Amino acid sequence: MKAILISGDGQNPSDLYVGETPRPDLAPGHVLIRTRFAGVNRPDILQRRGVYPPPPGASPILGLEVSGIIDAINLPEPYGDDIGWAVGDEVCALVNGGGYAEFVAVDIRHLLPVPKGLSLAQAASLPETVLTVYANLMEHGSLQVGETVLVHGGNSGIGAMTILLGKAFGARVIATARGAAKCAFARDLGADLVIDSDAEDFVAAVKAAGGADVVLDIVAGDFFGKNLACLNMRGRIVQVGFGKESTVELDLRRIIAKFAILTGSMLRPRSPDEKARLTAKVHERVWPLIEDGKIRTVVDRTFDFADAPAAHAYMDSGAHTGKVVLKL
């Protein structure tokens, strides 16, 4: 099968190329998806560069979310006949790697139906981002109706979904972005307040707006201290990435004084059982909101499979607003 492979040290998008590799083995309890679209995410960039290696047993091929058609199913005896899926079904899924390929093997418990009214391209933009934001905002961050969430990079996939999901669950959302166009994009998604972090001090603006109960952060570095300054009493900072330095300076007295919680998580290293639990919860709580139009997909650009280097260069540039997907 064809797949996007890496030559050299992977430091440049041009190190990606289309090559041939064997189809994945289909273990019991897994389905084989014929990929139609694959989401492009920041972890793909990091893996390409060699700083985010796949977990043991995962495919070394890039790609953490796909949409496509079920091509084959391999079930052990306990599953019985009524499994809810059949060969030929259109699906999307969180995968542990291998999304940038013609075929990918997926734990059947990690499948999601393509939401009604959405295309396969739109569906491919959902699993990684929705599961990441739901887990960190609603579970780790314990966001409640009427609370305020602050998210940085409102133009990114994570930022956009935080705005959409936060509003859908009854929160007030403050977003930062860099530049007028990205701020306008975040505002169009429904953010209650958008701050141009290139033009003004977001700490002062957030404080003037009443502070934040939850901060979902993908930046780290010097943003950490600023996030803590924005935090209300009993607030929660949820770290899900670091565009800047991952090592920060922390005076614990500031955590204690605010009764604050500092937490964070990663999606990819979670166990198959935990991913199955989270997938089921997202299907129950988020998929109806997508199908009702309360949460919309935001696909910025679609690149042909062979143009994966251009897709990575576009992500590297930071110019994107929303999600980037590959078409196979």
CATH superfamily of the domain spanning 130-264: NAD(P)-binding Rossmann-like Domain (3.40.50.720)
pLDDT band at 133 (very low <50, low <70, confident <90, very high): very high
Domain extents for the chain?
2-126+268-327, 130-264
Any idea which residue has 């295309």 for tokens? 119
CATH superfamily of the domain spanning 2-126+268-327: Medium-chain alcohol dehydrogenases, catalytic domain (3.90.180.10)
Give me the phi and psi of 41, to 5 degrees please.
-130, 160
pTM of the model: 0.93
Q: 195-201 long-range contacts, Cβ below 8 Å, gap at least 24? A: 197/152
pLDDT tens-place string over residues 247-283: 888 888 999 999 999 999 989 999 999 999 999 999 9
pLDDT tens-place string over residues 34-57: 999 999 999 999 999 999 999 888
Give me the phi and psi of 256, to 5 degrees please.
-65, -45
Contact status, residue 37 vs residue 119, Cβ threshold 8 Å = no
Contact status, residue 41 vs residue 129, Cβ threshold 8 Å = yes
pLDDT tens-place string over residues 186-243: 999 999 999 998 899 999 999 999 999 999 998 878 889 999 999 999 999 999 988 7
Q: Which of 135, 163, 142 is nearest to 151 (CA)?
A: 163
DSSP string, 223-250: HHHHHHHHEEEEEEEEE---SS-S----
pLDDT tens-place string over residues 273-289: 999 999 999 999 999 99
- CA–CA distance, 253 with 212 (Å, rounded to integer): 19
